Amino acid sequence: MRGIVQINFGGREIALKLVYYGPALSGKTTNLRSLHHLTTETSRGRLMTLETRDDRTLFFDMLPLTLRAETSVTGADRAGTPAGMTLRIKIFTVPGQVLHASTRRLVLQGADGVAFIADSQISETEHNAASFLDLRRNLKELNLSVKELPLVIQFNKRDLDRIRSDEELAALASRGREPVFRASAVNGDGVLETFFGLLDVTWRKLDREHQLAKLLGIASTELLPMAARQLGLETDVATLLSSCLGGTTQRTAEVSS
Amino acid sequence: MTIEAPPPSVRVDDLVLDGRLHLEDLVDRDGLDELCRSFVALFGIPVRIYSNEGGLLADTAIEHELCAYVNTTVEGRKACAATVGAVKARDAGESGDVLHPCFTGAAYRILALEYDGRRVGRLIVGPFLPPQVTEPLPSLLSIDAAIDKDRAQVLLGKMPRAKAETVTRITTHLKSALDLILFSGHKSFVTSKMHLASVRESYRQLEDKTARLQEAFDRLKELDRLKSNFLATVSHELRTPLTSIIGYSEMLVEGLAGELKPEQIEFVKTIHAKGGQLLSLIMSLLDLSKMESGTMRMTMRPVRIEAVMKEVVSTLLPTARKRGVKLQMSADASSLGEVRGDPERLRQVFINLVENAIKFTPSEGSVTLRAAMVDEDGDGGDDDAGLALLAPTRALVEVRVVDTGIGIPKREWGRIFDPFYQVDSSSTREYGGTGLGLSIVKRLVESHGGTIRIEDNPPRGTVFVVTLPQTSAGADVTSDARAPAESRPDG
Ligand SMILES: Nc1nc2c(ncn2[C@@H]2O[C@H](COP(=O)(O)OP(=O)(O)OP(=O)(O)O)[C@@H](O)[C@H]2O)c(=O)[nH]1
Ligand SMILES: Nc1ncnc2c1ncn2[C@@H]1O[C@H](COP(=O)(O)OP(=O)(O)OP(=O)(O)O)[C@@H](O)[C@H]1O
Ligand SMILES: [Mg+2]
Ligand SMILES: [Mg+2]
């Protein structure tokens, strides 16, 4: 296995891999489409959607984001590469259909963080659970553990009827460790919140283990605001993150360690 | 069971994440060439595309007349080659866009090609003439004495002119068209790799599962072998003391140890009878396990089947009488010939069948043994191809055990030959027995190269039909009885 975070090109690039996991039709692809829609072109590349059949993901979708550190601490000017450090984030979705189990594992391999996109409809409860077990099994096969993996949960499709209520979600969130976000991905609600929530927990863990901030020449707390700026967002990051339910255990644990 | 899974065969990350993407992998060269040609047709300026590795991916070099003229002179040709070489080798620089002048006054633009924020190659545009150059420069005229100023002036006028901003606009357009080509090229590259990878990954998983199943299967087979061995050993060990119990109880009944009271005699007789039952059960188990392990020895020789039948009838006549069942046989000794077999085992086959027939036939009923010659196609075989060759080897003796008893429902016909299977559990109580008889019969018949099947005997009763090959036909019957489906070495 490679070390989780990838540092490339003479240490001038850091690559992060984030994966949107979840049961079939929960809205993973929709999340990525909305994210693509909500960010500005300068920092994000084209959304790559691989060969779908009836709009279902067959292999994966992938959205690349490229953030440039806004301080130039490295003086070494190498020809052919722009000065300064680059943080490349690739966001993948897996195919949710049960049938694509082996592809899911291929895509999950090497993930630095996972957003689990659940369907809020009460009728989907079991599919959510089954897909989470599938995630756990696949992580285990890849020698990763769900305990160590930065993880956030999104309950999508809040716009529908017959869904788990906000109170129920709050209760569930307070019992679990992971931050929980509510979203309606088709309308673009909660999409940025989930993404920044995931970036937050992933960054905290990797920065702690690899001193990424130092490598990028920024302060640890600067990354999220910097990302928001470069992606052209007007909302401030603290507001985005404050919409999350639960997840406190994980955060205090990270701060204290 | 924990079998460590090998790592997946392809890394998705390698396909999309890092800088190992080569321009060569992403583009269709013919398509790229066409794009560049249409560009040249529009603007008259040559275009070349190089990959990072230095490969020339598209070349639409057209030779301007001035260049052709310069190349007719010795020094001009040298200088031209030097310029072209320098352009080819020149990097696009920090900014990704540099101008390279030619001694003729023309110029080249060298631009970096980027994909996904990384440089993957270079775009070389030119030579074209900047607008400010209106007449031959000294650098052109002095390169070779043979260059004529007036001619150079005329040819210079024929070179395509372009302002820097115009070239920038054109190349920006070209670059964005290229970017789209690269993106779709990348996409199909990744798609095809993912196709392969997911197929391989599924295959790996299947192989994994197959290996586990094979392991489980081998273990079960081994267990089965152990069970057979165990059964054989235990049966054998039980038989020895049991024979003593039977022998001594017989002697007690016969008064060899002194007179017994009538009641005592009754008791001892019961001990003797139950011992006998137990012994026959053990013998059956022993037979079964011998046949399963393939260790039953049989002495094959020509046997007259009607002799075996006669013996069976005379053995079971008392039983039949006791139950009020008529037992009879019919066989035309002259036409039957001989079958190849072990007479003791064949006797066992028919004893079992006739015992069953008597057991399941109410009094006033009848049991009949009938033997006849048949052809194989006589029993419904519809394939008569090559019969002229096959018929002589297919002569069969058919023995039918016909009863007018309770019958066997059709749906049970398939399972009736399984060990311990009895039609319904209540009949176990009414008729006794262990359900081993028919399974032994079937194996014995098959190890003689024969078959056994069931038919109805309307209006009431059952027919068991045993066919055995005639002597000449049974030449290939071996002397070892083996489990029909598969043979395994003894021990
Ligand atoms: N009402 C509602 N529908 C949604 C929402 N998000 C997604 N959908 C719909 O759910 C369906 C499936 O969405 P996708 O994004 O394709 O689901 P997916 O998780 O990528 O599915 P797979 O690729 O099969 O794993 C689509 O019809 C979406 O329009 C939402 O927030 N509200
Ligand atoms: N002629 C027959 N008529 C009706 N049923 C029969 C006949 N022969 C066999 N069967 C059915 O097939 C079952 C299996 O027969 P099999 O000879 O294998 O066992 P069994 O006679 O019950 O016991 P065992 O022969 O071991 O003492 C019988 O229990 C009975 O239900
Ligand atoms: Mg999808
Ligand atoms: Mg029987």
Query: Which of A103-112, B222-231, B296-305, B477-486 is the most confident on average?
Result: A103-112
> Has domain A6-241 been given CATH number 1.20.20.10?
no
- The answer to whether ipTM exceeds 0.85 is no
Q: Which of B416, B430, B445, B465 to mutate to test the pocket of ligand 2 (most atoms within 8 A of CB)?
A: B416
Of A173-187, B195-209, B352-366, B367-381, the range with the lowest mean pLDDT is B367-381
pLDDT of residue B12: 65
pLDDT of residue B19: 57
Is residue B38, in this structure, part of any structural domain at all? Answer: yes
Measured CA to CA, the distance from residue A155 to residue A116 in angstroms comes to: 9
Do residue B117 and residue A88 have CB atoms under 8 angstroms apart?
Answer: yes
CA B454, distance to chain mean position in Å, is 35
**Do residue B325 and residue B471 come from a single domain?**
yes
Say which CATH number the domain at B39 has.
Answer: 3.30.450
For residues A189-194, average pLDDT: 96
Residue B43 has pLDDT above 90, yes or no: no
Residue A117 has pLDDT above 60, yes or no: yes
- Partners of residue B113 in chain A, C-beta under 8 Å: none
pLDDT of residue B116: 80
- Kindly list the distances between the CA atom of residue B256 and the CA atoms of A23, A169, B248, B261, B314, in Å, as whole numbers in the listed order: 85, 92, 9, 13, 30
Can you read off the two tokens belonging to residue B125?
């545009």
* Last residue within a domain, chosen from B162, B184, B213: B162
Query: For residue A150, is the peptide bond before it cis, meaning its omega torsion is within 30 degrees of 0?
Result: no
Q: Which residue of A has its CA nearest to B8?
A: A106
Ligand 2 atom 28, closest CA: B422
pLDDT of residue B4: 40
What is the distance in angstroms between the Cα of A39 and the nearest Cα belonging to chain B? Answer: 17
Is residue B41, in this structure, part of any structural domain at all? Answer: yes
DSSP label at B4?
P
pLDDT of residue B190: 85
Measured CA to CA, the distance from residue B432 to residue B274 in angstroms comes to: 13
- Partners of residue B17 in chain A, C-beta under 8 Å: 6, 15, 17, 88, 90
3-state secondary structure of A67: strand
Confidence band of B479 (pLDDT split at 50, 70, 90): very low
Residue showing tokens 């007036």: B150
Is residue B470, in this structure, part of any structural domain at all? Answer: yes
Measured CA to CA, the distance from residue A31 to residue A33 in angstroms comes to: 5
Which has more pLDDT, B149 or A53? B149
pLDDT of residue B486: 38
For residue A202, which amino acid is it? T
* Last residue within a domain, chosen from B147, B162, B177: B162
pLDDT of residue B483: 38
For residues B374-380, average pLDDT: 56
Which has more pLDDT, B21 or A153? A153
| Each residue's pLDDT tens digit, B382-399 | 455 555 555 555 678 999
pLDDT of residue B303: 92
pLDDT of residue A149: 92
**Ligand 1 centroid to residue B203 C-alpha, Å:** 30
Mean pLDDT of chain B: 83
Ligand 2 atom 1, closest CA: B357
Plot region of B118 (φ>0 → left; ψ -120 to 50 → alpha; else → beta): beta
Cβ(B427) – ligand 2 distance below 6 Å:
yes
For residues A97-112, average pLDDT: 89
For residues B160-168, average pLDDT: 87
Residue B322 has pLDDT above 90, yes or no: yes
pLDDT of residue B421: 85
Q: Which of A29, A57, A100 to mutate to test the pocket of ligand 1 (most atoms within 8 A of CB)?
A: A29
**Do residue B155 and residue B303 come from a single domain?**
no
Ligand 2 atom 2, closest CA: B357
Ligand 2 atom 19, closest CA: B435
**Ligand 2 centroid to residue B438 C-alpha, Å:** 7
Mean pLDDT of chain A: 84
Cβ neighbours of residue A128 closer than 8 Å, sequence gap 6 or more? A22, A23, A26, A118, A119
Residue B3 has pLDDT above 50, yes or no: no
Is residue B328, in this structure, part of any structural domain at all? Answer: yes
What is the distance in angstroms between the Cα of A107 and the nearest Cα belonging to chain B? Answer: 6
Say which CATH number the domain at B350 has.
Answer: 3.30.565.10
CB A120 within 8 A of CB A157: yes
Cβ neighbours of residue B13 closer than 8 Å, sequence gap 6 or more? A6, A17, A109, A110
For residues B441-464, average pLDDT: 92
| Each residue's pLDDT tens digit, A220-241 | 888 999 999 999 998 889 999 9
Query: What CA dihedral angle connects B175, B180, B184 and B185, to 10 degrees?
Result: -10
CB B105 within 8 A of CB B156: yes
Beta pairing, strands A13-21 & A86-93 = parallel
Residue B475 has pLDDT above 50, yes or no: no
Residue B91 C-beta-side C-alpha neighbours within 13 Å: 10
For residues B148-158, average pLDDT: 87
Measured CA to CA, the distance from residue B311 to residue B431 in angstroms comes to: 24
* Last residue within a domain, chosen from B162, B195, B224: B162
pLDDT of residue B453: 94
Q: How many helices (H) and strands (E) does chain A have?
A: 9, 8
Of A63-77, A127-141, B214-228, B449-463, the range with the lowest mean pLDDT is A63-77
> Cβ of B265 under 8 Å from any chain A Cβ?
no
Can you read off the two tokens belonging to residue B259?
């007179």
DSSP label at B94?
T
Residue showing tokens 């806004």: A70
| Each residue's pLDDT tens digit, B100-142 | 999 888 899 999 998 887 888 999 998 899 988 888 888 888 8
3-state secondary structure of A39: coil
CB B33 within 8 A of CB B64: no
Confidence band of A78 (pLDDT split at 50, 70, 90): very low
Q: What is the DSSP string of B244-264?
A: HHHHHHHHHHTTTTS---HHH
For residues B477-485, average pLDDT: 40
Which has more pLDDT, A71 or B254? B254
Measured CA to CA, the distance from residue B363 to residue B292 in angstroms comes to: 37
Measured CA to CA, the distance from residue A251 to residue A242 in angstroms comes to: 13
pLDDT of residue B401: 97
pLDDT of residue B20: 65
Cβ neighbours of residue B459 closer than 8 Å, sequence gap 6 or more? none
Tell me the residue range of the domain where B350 lies: 297-375+392-482
A-interface mutation test, from B12, B114, B184, B191, most A Cβ less than 10 A away: B12
Query: For residue B459, is the peptide bond before it cis, meaning its omega torsion is within 30 degrees of 0?
Result: yes
Residue A248 has pLDDT above 80, yes or no: no
Residue B465 has pLDDT above 90, yes or no: yes
Which has more pLDDT, A21 or B65? A21
CB B182 within 8 A of CB B120: yes
Can you read off the two tokens belonging to residue A171?
């209760």
**Ligand 4 centroid to residue B365 C-alpha, Å:** 18
pLDDT of residue B392: 52
| Each residue's pLDDT tens digit, A12-52 | 788 899 999 999 999 999 999 999 999 988 888 889 888 67
| Helix A191-210, helix A28-38: angle, nearest 10 | 90
**Ligand 4 centroid to residue B442 C-alpha, Å:** 12
Give me the number of domains chain B comprises: 2
Measured CA to CA, the distance from residue B189 to residue B12 in angstroms comes to: 12
For residues B336-350, average pLDDT: 90
pLDDT of residue B385: 54
Nearest to A240 by CA among A152, A177, A174, A167: A152
- Kindly list the distances between the CA atom of residue B370 and the CA atoms of B223, B408, B448, B467, in Å, as whole numbers in the listed order: 42, 20, 19, 12
CB B331 within 8 A of CB B370: yes
pLDDT of residue B435: 83
Confidence band of B328 (pLDDT split at 50, 70, 90): very high
| Each residue's pLDDT tens digit, A126-138 | 899 989 999 998 9
- Partners of residue B187 in chain A, C-beta under 8 Å: 48, 50
Measured CA to CA, the distance from residue A52 to residue A33 in angstroms comes to: 14
Ligand 2 atom 20, closest CA: B435
pLDDT of residue B35: 85
Cβ(A95) – ligand 1 distance below 6 Å:
yes
- β partners of residue B454: B464
What sign for the dihedral angle of Cα B359, B360, B364, B365? negative
For residues A81-88, average pLDDT: 66
Residue A249 has pLDDT above 70, yes or no: no
In 3-state terms chain B splits into helix, strand, coil percentages (rounded to 5) of 55, 15, 30
Q: Which residue of A has its CA nearest to B4?
A: A141
CA B160, distance to chain mean position in Å, is 68
Residue B406 has pLDDT above 50, yes or no: yes
Confidence band of B381 (pLDDT split at 50, 70, 90): very low
Is residue B173, in this structure, part of any structural domain at all? Answer: no
CB B331 within 8 A of CB B373: no
